[in-house]
Amino acid sequence: MGSDTASPRSLSLRRLSLQARLSALSVGTLLVLLVGGGALQYFALGQYLRSDEAGVLRQRYAATVGANLQPLRAAARCRVASGSEVVNNRVSATTAQCIVDVVSNSSISAVLIDADGRVNSSAPADNVYPTLPLRDYLDAAQGRTNAYYLVGSGADQAMVVLHPLGNRNGKSLGVVQLSEPTQPLQQTQQRLLTVLGIGTGVLILLAVVLTPLLVRRGLRPLRRVTEASTVLAGGDFSRRVVEPESQDEVGRLARAFNDMAAAVQAAFTVRADSEAGMRNFVGDASHELRTPLTTIQGQLDLLQRGAATDVEAERASLESMQREVRRMSVLVEDLLTLTRLDSAASPDAVREPVDLDALIAEVVEEASVRAPDQRVEVVSESPGEAVVRGDKEQLRRAVLNLANNALSHAPGGTHTWRTRLDGDEVVVSLSDQGTGIAKDALPRVFDRFYRASDERRSNGSGLGLAIVKSIVEAHGGRVEADSDAGGTTMTARFPRQATSAGEPAA
């Protein structure tokens, strides 16, 4: 049956800080490497010492005995009659004793074993020499030997080297065994082990002291990110961390945090602005709707109090209510238009090339019916080339709103429409000769429901220029206003749509 409870060990590890875990991991890794490396050195040194000592024994044998007893004839102490060294394929006792005496010393024991595995001679005579299995001697007599053999263990361990002995004809005469204790080699290994133990202890102690300091220094940028995150969670979106010059993970984390903080700050700024704009929008819309509703309610109360008996009073009340109803209808229609512009997806699929010169001419003709006395001029610097890609009805609404705004606030003088090309943009401007707009009010003329103090009594909804701005921006353009004592100029800029023979302007 499984268990959801964590082990005490895992719980204790979770309670440790990242610095403590990294320090423990680093020290633990260093300890494992040092112990593993020390063990490898210990065993490698033992192997090297044994191989080297076996080589010394082989060199000693080669220098004194040789392969076919040749050096024995020249040795004064081993000189014997010619041909008497070997009798019936056996080394004579005198020669055998001479051989083991020559190659042995106080630490090296020598034994000559005949080809049949029997001991012939040994030196020193009173020494107890190690023995190997008979199979090893027989194999060695045939020339199949190992580099060395180990007999026993601990302080009693000995190393054995076997040398096959033959005559001039290549006939095997036996095996010469040289052996010596491995205790000196083991002492050398023990001294190395002591040095490794002391060195490992010192290094681990230094690691325990220095590793937390180094880890703490390395995690300093991470702590800064943590502190900044806490401040950011508390609502201070201006907090940033110092980005290190390194390109490692910590540096990338710091840069990613700063980018995230900037994005969060921008998002909250947009949200705050949107909420503030929404509150102002709702308040303004409520105010604009409350005014005609209050007027209608007042007229209804007047009719209920007896004004209906007076024909003139009744007609005046009905006319007043009709004006307010028309005002509310315009306001609601403008609100719906703005809502559709704000919530609409990209309208590229329904857009088409639109000739703004032709569109302005249509709007001017319609406006002349409502204001036949108004002087209007239309100037096109590049006839037929002021073409943009967009929704023709929306663009008509924008041009019409600009015309209505000029007619409402600058009824006298001349209204001048002008189209021109500016690089990859089509520029449309409308200039009037009115009293102009105050400098402090100029940045807000495209805000929703904004009207100057001298315009509060007009019948407009205060959304005309806001609709113009939304339409122009929905088409990838921008709109601006400029004003002085000589009048006001409204300018809209659109991305230009080049015309071709296969795609005429609408």
Sign of CA dihedral 227, 229, 230, 231: positive
What string of H, E and C letters represents the secondary structure of 46-67?
HHHHHHHHHHHHHHHHHHHCCC
pTM given for the model: 0.47
Rg from Cα positions in the chain: 55
Query: What pLDDT score was predicted for residue 426?
Result: 92
Query: What pLDDT score was predicted for residue 348?
Result: 47
Residues whose CB is less than 8 angstroms from the CB of residue 413 and which lie 6 or more positions away in sequence, other chains included: 375, 432, 433, 434, 487
- Asked if residues 207 and 27 have their Cβ atoms less than 8 Å apart, the reply is yes
Distance CA 192, CA 59 (A): 27
Distance CA 296, CA 324 (A): 7
Length of the chain equals: 506
**Residues in the chain with pLDDT < 70?**
1-14, 66-90, 125-126, 167-170, 246, 274, 277-278, 280-281, 283-285, 287-288, 306-310, 342-350, 451-461, 498-506
> Do strands 352-355 and 158-166 pair parallel, antiparallel, or not at all (unpaired)?
unpaired
Query: What pLDDT score was predicted for residue 502?
Result: 40
Q: Which two tokens stand for residue 301?
A: 């109360």
Query: What pLDDT score was predicted for residue 283?
Result: 67
- Asked if residues 446 and 478 have their Cβ atoms less than 8 Å apart, the reply is no
Query: What pLDDT score was predicted for residue 167?
Result: 65
263 backbone dihedrals φ, ψ, rounded to 5° = -65, -40
Distance CA 14, CA 8 (A): 10
Distance CA 301, CA 305 (A): 6
Query: What pLDDT score was predicted for residue 20?
Result: 84
> Do strands 414-422 and 375-380 pair parallel, antiparallel, or not at all (unpaired)?
parallel
HSE-CB for 462 with a 13 A CA cutoff: 21
Distance CA 405, CA 378 (A): 17
- Residue pLDDT, tens place only, 97-115: 888 888 888 888 898 888 8
Distance CA 207, CA 192 (A): 22
Distance CA 430, CA 492 (A): 9
Residues whose CB is less than 8 angstroms from the CB of residue 67 and which lie 6 or more positions away in sequence, other chains included: 166
Query: What pLDDT score was predicted for residue 243?
Result: 74
Residue 2, Cα to own-chain centre: how many angstroms?
Answer: 36
Distance CA 164, CA 112 (A): 10
Q: Which two tokens stand for residue 393?
A: 């009805």
Q: Which two tokens stand for residue 117?
A: 């595995």
401, amino acid identity: N
Which residue matches tokens 């509150």? Answer: 279
